[in-house]
């Protein structure tokens, strides 16, 4: 029974850590969008821009964007090579 409790505690800890990471990424995205848009920033504007850009671009350009997506992460967060 002790092993099960240890596993449950570990799962709880990992879920908490995941939530913290999601929050940290959301804050980074907010700051970057606000920096780019300045006083014009609003969540609705950002959502509209992303939706419009994504829906109206070629699959090739979307692929390029997805490949560049890792550059958003700061160096200390980027996965380390094995």
- The tens-digit pLDDT sequence of the chain (82 residues) is 789 999 999 999 999 999 999 999 999 999 999 999 999 999 999 999 999 999 998 999 989 988 888 765 555 444 544 4
In degrees, rounded to 5, the angle at the alpha carbon of residue 31 between the alpha carbons of residues 29 and 36 is 95
- Rounded to two decimals, what is the model's pTM? 0.64
73 in helix, strand or coil? coil
CA 16 to each of CA 3, 12, 13, 22, 50: distance values in angstroms, whole numbers, following the listed order: 20, 6, 5, 10, 29
Q: Give φ, ψ of 81 to 5 degrees.
A: -65, 145
């Amino acid at each position: 029974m002790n092993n099960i409790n240890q596993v449950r505690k570990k799962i709880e800890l990992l879920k908490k850590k995941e939530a913290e990471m999601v929050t940290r990424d959301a804050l980074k995205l907010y700051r970057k969008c606000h920096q780019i848009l300045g006083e014009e920033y609003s969540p609705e504007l950002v959502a509209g821009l992303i939706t419009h850009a994504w829906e109206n671009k070629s699959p090739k350009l979307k692929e390029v964007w997805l490949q560049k997506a890792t550059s958003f992460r700061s160096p200390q967060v980027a996965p380390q090579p094995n």
